Structure 1
Amino acid sequence: MGFYEASDYDTNWAILNAVLAAGSQEALDVMPLIQTVTYNMYGASGWTKLNSDDDRDIISYDIWGVDYVAVDDPRFVRYGVFDGTSLKVSWDTSL
């Protein structure tokens, strides 16, 4: 599972848990609980805690670039990962 799929999976679980906690499907009942639900949830993409703008507070990113196998054959390659928890980059040394 890639990062985007993991984030989608976690988003759905966070909404489901907020709906269950609210006992309602109404947005006005569910939305106030999202911060608490995501703070207490560690999902497929990591800790789902949100910041004050409702964006992920701690997140890891893949670092991608273009590698030319041949002059006319560019390919996207993952060069490393930024870990938002440790604030460190791990470079893929197998390239």
Structure 2
Amino acid sequence: MKNGLITLEYVNTVIKRRNRNIHKGDCGRILLIAGSLGMAGAAVLCGRGALRSGAGLVQIAALEEIFPIIQVGVPEATCVSRESLNLDKPRYDAIG
């Protein structure tokens, strides 16, 4: 990185092409605790952002009432009830 400017050349030295046979669990596991009644969009935006940044497995802890909204907005993510969340921190690479 030169003068704080991120160039395509710099990005190509940091981000490598993934192997075609890679499993999504090998690309990072993220737990997002997001969304509430009337604000399910927050969970959807967080989930999309995590996937777009390269996370392989995204799990969203939310209220069960907003699961349908999350599943339509981010079908690649899995949902877990916030009430029954067993926070196994070592399982995740990041928690947000």
Q: TM-score, normalised by structure 2?
A: 0.23
Q: TM-score, normalised by structure 1?
A: 0.23
Larger radius of gyration: 1
